[in-house]
Amino acid sequence: MYEVSVKTHFSAAHHLRGYHGSCEEHHGHNWEVEVFVSGESLDKTGILVDFRDLKKAVACQLDELDHKDLNKVKAFRRQNPTSENIARYLYERLSPVLRRTGHSVSRVRVCETPTSGATYSEPDKASG
């Protein structure tokens, strides 16, 4: 199995509803995002997925989040825009886009600081 990734970032503000502490106040982060794509075979040039194409797909999704108040983004009006929820959101948005090109998102990692982040992946359907 092969796995490749691209790393990028976006800037956005948020606050955590129902949280008691400093994160309940409106604040911002420079969020770091890493998207991992996996597959069993390479194309004739030895590439799983063209990094350029993967970066473009990720950038398209991040355009909806960049320089926004995440609590006002439709997907986060009812759930907190935590690193965990943002990772799942990006995973779910990118999966069908990349599946159309024959690729599979294996996981998405979102970090709100250099030392704190969350990863989302779907459970292994074969073991469940």
Among the options 9, 15, 23, 84, which is catalytic? Answer: 23
55-70 confidence digits (pLDDT tens): 999 999 999 999 999 9
Among the options 34, 103, 111, 112, which is catalytic? Answer: 112
d(CA 60, CA 125): 28
Question: Tokens 């956005």 sit at which residue?
Answer: 12
| Residue 127: pLDDT band with limits 50, 70, 90 | very low
4-55 confidence digits (pLDDT tens): 999 999 999 999 999 999 989 999 999 999 999 999 999 999 999 999 999 9
Q: Is 40 assigned a catalytic role?
A: no
Q: Is 25 assigned a catalytic role?
A: no
Domains and CATH numbers, the chain: 2-120 (3.30.479.10)
| Nearest one of 10, 8, 24 to 80, comparing CA atoms | 24
pLDDT at 75: 96
60-99 confidence digits (pLDDT tens): 999 999 999 999 999 999 999 999 999 999 999 999 999 9
Q: 120 with 107: CB under 8 angstroms?
A: yes
Q: 70 with 12: CB under 8 angstroms?
A: yes
Among the options 24, 27, 60, 67, which is catalytic? Answer: 67
